[in-house]
Amino acid sequence: QVQLVESGGDSVQAGGSLRLSCVASKYTYPDHCVGWFRQAPGKEREGVAALYPNGGGSYYADSMKGRVTISQDKDNNTLYLQMDNLKPDDTATYYCAADRRLWRGCDRITEYMYLGQGTLVTVSS
């Protein structure tokens, strides 16, 4: 079981930046996929980015590719999502997630086992 707590959501204007953080309750670096997905009101969940375990690389979904960077401070069990050039369509609740079912791959972020409570990002024009 992994508990995840996100922070960093805020209201920003279009073109602005935000960095989201997610602290995990256990050491996930060696054996979990970790990532972010988002859900806007009335829409389905949409994957954003993920990291493979043990420094095995990253995955970026088309949704925000080129405008986000995912990173991890493995010593502090913290996952980050740096978001730049935000657009009004990026308004959503952003969730941190983790999964140790590595045979599924790490790109199915919206199906991860463990989720945080979400942090709201609002982008105004």
**What is the pLDDT tens value at each position of the chain, 125 positions in all?**
999 999 999 999 999 999 999 999 998 888 999 999 999 999 999 999 999 999 899 999 998 999 999 999 999 999 999 999 999 999 999 999 999 999 999 999 999 999 999 999 999 99
* Nearest in space to 13 (alpha carbons), one of 93, 121, 98: 121
With 0-12 / 13-18 / 19 or more C-beta atoms within 10 angstroms meaning exposed / middle / buried, residue 43 is: exposed
pLDDT of residue 63: 86
Q: How far apart are CA 69 and CA 60, in angstroms?
A: 8
Q: How far apart are CA 41 and CA 93, in angstroms?
A: 8
**99, two tokens:** 């999964």
The H or E element containing residue 77 is none
